[in-house]
Structure 1
Amino acid sequence: MPNTPSAWFKSSFSTASGDCVEVRFDGDVVLVRDTKDRGSGPVITLDAVRWDGFLGQLRAGSVDADGVLAVLPAPSGGVILRARHDGTALRYTRGEWEMFLRGVRAGEFTHSAAVA
């Protein structure tokens, strides 16, 4: 498995450019950021149970309108990932999001599997 607790990681499907959805597990908390921000941009923080629920919705092909994270279309054809509890938003290109979704479908971002 490419991820380890307490280390930032991205999908194994991500391109060599390194711009992608990046995730870190810290106990029962999941942090999400955009590598384009070089560690100085916003970070979405949520509990692991809600994160795993969000991943399940992504795998099913629909994100609950009342869920913890909103996936919104961006004007450039990419997506905006917005935390509903505080409005923190991350912007990803279409390619970055697709590589993330491939990793989601492969089980690379599931918190419960990583910490088990």
Structure 2
Amino acid sequence: MSTHGWRTSSFSSNGASCVEVLEADGATYLRDTKEHGEGAVLHLDGPAWSAFLDEVARDAPSANGAVDVTTRGDDGARAVQEHSSGAVLHFRDDEWVAFRRGVLAGEFGALGD
């Protein structure tokens, strides 16, 4: 997997604490910028990524088959857990909201692709 091309939502305030996305090798990868490239990297194939984008846009329960998104506590923080590896990413509410705004703006692919 290439390490170049990671990007964040344009709605992320500083680019240092957010959901980071890489499209490579026919798949999409997610990581947390707070981990400085040392943390977990989650993998979604094309159909799972499209379903995930739709779920994020609709703020709907996870049914994409690759990752589960759960709300942690009352602060709106999210945990994203990959089914195959069990790896988990943790995002604060502001990080997730910025990512979702990017999804709604089409920054990570058109919904329904």
TM-score by length of 2: 0.84
Amino acid at match of 2:85: D
Tell me, yes or no, if structure 1 residue 47 matches structure 2 residue 45. Answer: yes
How far has the Cα of 1:106 moved from its partner? 0.6
User: Counterpart of 2:12?
Assistant: 14
- Unaligned runs of 5+ residues in structure 2 are none
1:108/1:66 Cα in 2 relative to 1: closer, same or farther (>3 Å)? closer
- Unaligned runs of 5+ residues in structure 1 are 1-5
User: In percent, how many aligned pairs have the same letter?
Assistant: 34
Which one is further off, 28-37 or 44-53? 44-53
The number of aligned residues is 107
User: Counterpart of 1:69?
Assistant: 67
Amino acid at match of 2:105: A
Runs (4+) off by over 3 Å: 64-67
Amino acid at match of 1:48: G
Which one is further off, 50-59 or 94-103? 50-59
Higher normalized contact order (CA 8 Å, seq sep 6+, divided by chain length) = 1
How far has the Cα of 1:67 moved from its partner? 3.3
How far has the Cα of 1:60 moved from its partner? 2.4
